Amino acid sequence: MDENAYQETYNALNRNECPFEPALIICRHACHNARRIGIGERVAVGCVDATAQAACKELLSLLHHNAAFALHLTEVSMLPHSKELKVQCGGLRGLFQAVEPDAATDAPIEDIADLVAQASEDFEGLENLPFSEIMRSVTHFEARKKK
């Protein structure tokens, strides 16, 4: 399947794209609102809850904004895949640590939507999250160890 045909099919089948699609697929996090869609040999992830999707988009935007310094970038508009994984997976890991400080550092994130909602409640809005602590997880995140 050529890339243009894939993108057309992706856009037609996945109208409510999950903002944390790479984190769900690669970092193996979970979310009760996520719906996996097989397209050829690839997987897309959609969201079934518009309110949760909006909250996740807001969180991802805040993570991108705060990650510029942590990733030594002047702009974070279109990140390479590896840096996007650092922002998403590292950011979610840091958020999990901020919400559940007593949990094991490698404990799985079982529901991204619930984590975002809990963080918003605990910190009285996503804009009040402890981004300096969260960015430490972004900086230290490694997708794969090189062999």
Q: What is the pLDDT of residue 32?
A: 96
Element (H, E) at 60: helix 50-70
Element (H, E) at 21: helix 21-25
* Contact (CB, 8 A) for 33 and 48: yes
Give pTM, 2 decimals: 0.86
Phi, psi of 111 (to 5 degrees): -155, 105
* Contact (CB, 8 A) for 43 and 36: yes
Least confident piece of the model among 40-44, 82-86, 106-110, 135-139: 40-44
Q: What is the pLDDT of residue 70?
A: 80
